[in-house]
Structure 1
């Protein structure tokens, strides 16, 4: 029940998902006094599919991530992840502190055999049909070696196949150039591993200016590079939206043109809406954890829940474990 807005956003999003998925059961972990008043619209039948686990302890967005292990075991985040560990929940969706969520996940859930480090996989808009590509790692790690990048590629291909139903997901390495001799030794070594793997549909290097072209379904990079990339992208979207608004308001002529161009502008606004891309998955662990952006709207948080539902339906951790087993053979 975390995030910038808390239960007023996350609870309605959960209830909206409940209505769209008849088999869904939801446990809301947080302050019962804040949650209960938001459940008045529930029908008697739907009410039987919602549980509340009360705790008034929350981890602040500015708290040190290691606090979740030292002094916040009664926090809503820790309890939610622990329910996945115990098998009381199939997935955890949180809009809280990313570092703390990562720390709780690593502490409570086992790593999938063959995975050295988990990664965070985010969704990117793409201009091709289908509209999405996936980028990992976007911040679970500061640096990664070639073997870890190879593991990210395997995990990313499984998750892309689940979320986008692309059985032969195209995998690329993010690099400073497309030429074979470009990149750090780690990237060069990772490229050799990916190219030699029969488990992957590896298409080679791509540069930053190709991220949104849709040439790859999965784009692999180290966590430091990925985190800067995803945040730069979010900033660029805000600038574009701001420039469009500023231009329209600049004079009567542009306001008049905007009336005629309204369908076009609405289409652009829909494509740039961050809610469509909300929900980053922590991959590599034995349980499913989806991280929503802290600023997410109700639609955005509901989208993150849908991410989690699809991964539960496909049992993504088991698929990743199978992929790692085949790769090791």
Structure 2
């Protein structure tokens, strides 16, 4: 398995990227890494691991910045680390693409260079999130790849999420729910109602109906589907709320006198457990799912541990052959529709 890495993407690149790659390389002997980026900046962090059979550098001094306009950057910066990594996947030199860089540019690189699976109108951005109180995860799709989703796109997200949940996470007959402002079947906007009808009519997925945002982490569903605008807003609200609650608890303990400080000291391990539970980076990055190869984005502020977990996730995707299964599924569906 070969993973093309945009080594210059992210707030702490290339250090965090390289250190995370080294952690993964120590554990997975069956994975090779091609690091695209400034060789002089990457080499000091690689040490003796430079230019081995498992880790190679393809030097380029050009990179895509966080404030670059995505499509323009992909088309104009032909030698950028992200572009070269995407081309390596397109040309079969690598099996997957990993980046912590500009999200919009990565989406554009996936669509314009690697390309969609035939039959999928729009790939979705899909993170893996924890179920609170259980050692389980669920997938949430779309969280920002498509601001203006159609009902047909949301139906396909249900199919894509089901495949990932079954073949990568190991869920049998995964339950699919539609995020809505109520659980009743006819609840929501016209977009939600139409998406509900399409999901309910598909006998190939285990659709259980609507779910509300407050039930997101309850384990009610293995796959939760929404449009990209709503998904992005919900995910950022979750992140912001989690950080605010932790800061509020910390401030309350520090400002609450001796008793509060003693109580905080006693609860230190429990509070750390809560923080770790809400840290979904340990489940990997967000997959741009629906492309002809895995393209995975981790948070721009990711440290080496988050990078390691994302590499672990990419390896799981490649081992599962879920992309090949999706290609067969949609090719068969297209042939059936053509006959009808």
Normalising TM by the smaller chain, what interval? Answer: over 0.9
Listed one character per residue, the Cα deviations across residues 53-90 of structure 1 (whole Å, up to 9, x for unaligned) are 10010111011002223311100000011111111111
Q: Which residue in 1 is equivalent to 2:290? A: 284
Distance apart, 1:297 and its partner CA: 1.4
Give the Cα separation in 1 of the matches to 2:329 and 2:180. Answer: 25
Counterpart mapping for 1:133-172 below 5 A:
133-172=138-177
Count matched residues. 327
Q: Which residue in 2 is equivalent to 1:69? A: 74
Q: 1:240 to 1:274 in 2, by over 3 A?
A: farther
Contact 1:199 1:323 in 2 (8 A): no
Q: 1:213 to 1:14 in 2, by over 3 A?
A: same
Q: Which residue in 2 is equivalent to 1:224? A: 229
Q: Which residue in 1 is equivalent to 2:252? A: 247
Give the Cα separation in 2 of the matches to 1:113 and 1:128. Answer: 39
Contact 2:284 2:312 in 1 (8 A): no
1:26 aligns with 2:26: no
Listed one character per residue, the Cα deviations across residues 107-144 of structure 1 (whole Å, up to 9, x for unaligned) are 11231121011110112222252332211111111111
Give the Cα separation in 2 of the matches to 1:262 and 1:197. Answer: 48
Q: Which residue in 2 is equivalent to 1:190? A: 195
Query: Is 19-28 or 160-169 further displaced after alignment?
Result: 160-169
Give the Cα separation in 1 of the matches to 2:264 and 2:60. Answer: 49
Counterpart mapping for 1:1-329 below 5 A:
1=7, 2-40=9-47, 42=49, 47-250=52-255, 251-325=257-331, 327=333, 329=336
Contact 1:278 1:292 in 2 (8 A): yes
Give the Cα separation in 2 of the matches to 1:131 and 1:247. Answer: 31
Q: Once superposed, what is the RMSD of the aligned Cα atoms? A: 1.7
Distance apart, 1:252 and its partner CA: 1.9
Question: Any gaps of 5 or more consecutive residues in structure 1?
Answer: none
Distance apart, 1:316 and its partner CA: 2.1
Question: Any gaps of 5 or more consecutive residues in structure 2?
Answer: 1-6
Give the Cα separation in 1 of the matches to 2:254 and 2:48. Answer: 39
Listed one character per residue, the Cα deviations across residues 267-286 of structure 1 (whole Å, up to 9, x for unaligned) are 21221234324400001111
Distance apart, 1:262 and its partner CA: 3.0
Q: 1:23 to 1:277 in 2, by over 3 A?
A: closer
Listed one character per residue, the Cα deviations across residues 290-315 of structure 1 (whole Å, up to 9, x for unaligned) are 00110111111111111111111112
Tell me which stretches of 4 or more aligned residues in structure 1 moved more than 6 Å. Answer: none
Give the Cα separation in 2 of the matches to 1:168 and 1:297. Answer: 34
SS of alignment partner, residue 74 of structure 2: helix
Give the Cα separation in 2 of the matches to 1:169 and 1:144. Answer: 23
Contact 2:130 2:280 in 1 (8 A): no
